[in-house]
Amino acid sequence: MNHPTFAAPVSSALPLGERQLKAFIDATLRFFERITQEPAEIGDASIHLDRLPVLDFTGLIQISGSCTGFIYVTLPREMLAKMLASIGESQPDDEACRDFAGEIANTVSGNAREIFGSQFDISVPAPLDSAAAASLTLQGPSFVLPVNWRGADACIVIALQLQ
């Protein structure tokens, strides 16, 4: 049996390092706590090789450069309604949920610009409803991290491919 030999400690041979991606996820998770004063919990991550997961509302940014693709947060209506309620919106309708998804997209965009900004072009953030988000496609794998907040699950999705 040949054992592996290490040429160097873990390095960033790829354009995006896992530490950068982790920093982005952590920053996005902090959004939940900042807005609602209640932290979200992360679930078991998975890698999707087929369809991108899409819930009722999605806040998305597109990335281009040495990697292209999307980074987004997709949330169920139930969670958005609870989040809005926690900040005083008692009867949130779809319009309010969509606007709030836009807020989340802004946060995602701000975090992405801060963490990956020098390496990539980052699009204007966009809120999408489920029909629009369902048309998103990607050839490669996507990293899906469930985020639980007050019993409802959203997902942070990193769907990038190398150019």
Partner 1 sequence: MPASLSPFNCNEMSIHLQKSYDRTPEFEALAREAQLQFVEWSIVFALDGLKTGAEIALAFKLSEGRADEIFERLVAKGIIGEYNMGVEDYLQRRQIMALNALAESAGDGRANSTTNGSRVRGQRLEPDFPMVGSLSATISRLRSPKSTVDGTNGKTQVPAASTNGNGNAPKKNRFRLKAATDFIQGHAGGGTLGQLAVYRALMLVPSDLLRETGLRRLDFNDETIEIESPKLRQAIVDAIGKTLQVELPVEYFLE
Binding site for partner 1 (CB under 8 A): 1-11, 13-14, 16-19, 21-22, 25, 42, 44-51, 139-141, 143, 145, 158, 160-162
**Residues facing 156 on adjacent strands:** 73, 145
Nearest distance in Å: CB 152, partner 1: 20
Closer CB to partner 1, residue 47 or residue 132?
47
Of 111, 130, 131, whose CA–CA distance to 63 is shortest? 111
**Residues facing 43 on adjacent strands:** none
Task: Report the run of H or E that residue 85 belongs to, with start and end.
Answer: helix 77-86
Nearest distance in Å: CB 56, partner 1: 21
Closer CB to partner 1, residue 110 or residue 141?
141
Closer CB to partner 1, residue 12 or residue 117?
12
Residue 132 · residue 1 · CB < 8 Å: no
Closer CB to partner 1, residue 3 or residue 118?
3
Residue 142 · residue 67 · CB < 8 Å: no
Q: Is 40 helix (H, G, I), strand (E, B) or coil?
A: coil
Residue 115 · residue 27 · CB < 8 Å: yes
Closer CB to partner 1, residue 16 or residue 108?
16
Nearest distance in Å: CB 138, partner 1: 9
The Cβ of residue 39 has, within 10 Å, a number of other Cβ atoms equal to 11
Q: At what angle do helices 94-116 and 18-36 cross, to 10 degrees?
A: 140
Nearest distance in Å: CB 3, partner 1: 5
Nearest distance in Å: CB 65, partner 1: 14
